[in-house]
Structure 1
Amino acid sequence: MNKVYCYSRCTTCKKAIKWLEDNKIKHEVIDIKENHPDEKTLKDLHKKSGLPLKKFFNTSGQLYREMELSKKLPDMTEAEMYKILASDGMLVKRPLLITDKAVIPGFKEEQWKEATK
């Protein structure tokens, strides 16, 4: 079963869910604010994605800017990054798609199409 971490007020998340529904792709929506991934889950998702850990940060989010993470991330260890990401779902790039074969932060239709085949 495909899982999607989303924030209900996020327009990109709404667009992604609509795309899944329009394409009749089964999925489970998880509220990223209420049920955000913990450190272990983030480590597993990061490893499965093959992406740099920085791609999991919601760089356009208010909390990211308030915490001045753009200045702090370059000097952080992965352990510190996981800890911060796990502290608040609003720091995690969304929507976050999890399939049997891929983990994709953010909504890019072509990537989602490939991952949900």
Structure 2
Amino acid sequence: MLRVYGIKNCDTIKKSLKWLDKNEVDYEFIDVRQQPLQKETVNVWLQQVPAESLLNKRSTSWRNLSDEQKALEDTTKIAELIAEQPTLFKRPLVQSGQAIHCGFNEKLWSERYL
């Protein structure tokens, strides 16, 4: 079963969940506003996905960070930051077994999840 992390009111999440439902893919949705992220969870993600791929640098949350926060390279500090501000990761984040994928791409999802 896929674990899909995101925020319920995010347009990309809505589109992603609709696609999963339409294609009858079994998943569990975790709304990170309702179930806050733990830094340990984010650390697991960062072992699979580089911070550059995980961080949503187009988000308002990213733009509101200090230059010092944007320059962080320590994955533990990055994990703490994402756990505190879950809108900083690219949505949806899909965990399939040990594999982690960020973002919605219909073609890729068709290859991976169907």
Give the TM-score, by structure 1 length. Answer: 0.83
Letter in 2 for 1:9: N
Tell me the distance in 2 between the aligned counterparts of 1:92 and 1:35. 15
Query: Does the 8 Å CA contact 1:33/1:90 hold for their aligned counterparts?
Result: no
Paired-residue identity, %? 26
Tell me the distance in 2 between the aligned counterparts of 1:111 and 1:36. 28
Distance 1:7 1:54, change over 3 A: same
Query: Does the 8 Å CA contact 1:4/1:96 hold for their aligned counterparts?
Result: yes
For residues 73-112 of structure 1, what are the structure 2 equivalents within 5 Å? 73-112=70-109
Partner in structure 1 of residue 60 of structure 2: 62
For residues 11-90 of structure 1, what are the structure 2 equivalents within 5 Å? 11-47=11-47, 49=48, 51-68=49-66, 72-90=69-87
Structure 1 residue ranges without an equivalent (≥5): none
Letter in 2 for 1:104: H
Tell me the distance in 2 between the aligned counterparts of 1:116 and 1:102. 12
1:72-94: CA deviation from partner (whole Å, max 9, x where unpaired): 43443222111111112112211
Does the residue aligned with 1:28 lie in a helix, a strand or coil?
A: strand
Query: Does the 8 Å CA contact 1:34/1:89 hold for their aligned counterparts?
Result: no
Give the TM-score, by structure 2 length. Answer: 0.85
The runs of at least 4 aligned residues of structure 1 exceeding 4 Å deviation read none
Letter in 1 for 2:93: L
Query: Does the 8 Å CA contact 2:37/2:86 hold for their aligned counterparts?
Result: yes
Letter in 2 for 1:52: P
Residue 107 of structure 1, CA deviation: 0.8
Distance 1:113 1:46, change over 3 A: farther
Query: Does the 8 Å CA contact 1:57/1:92 hold for their aligned counterparts?
Result: yes
How many residues align structurally?
114
Structure 2 residue ranges without an equivalent (≥5): none
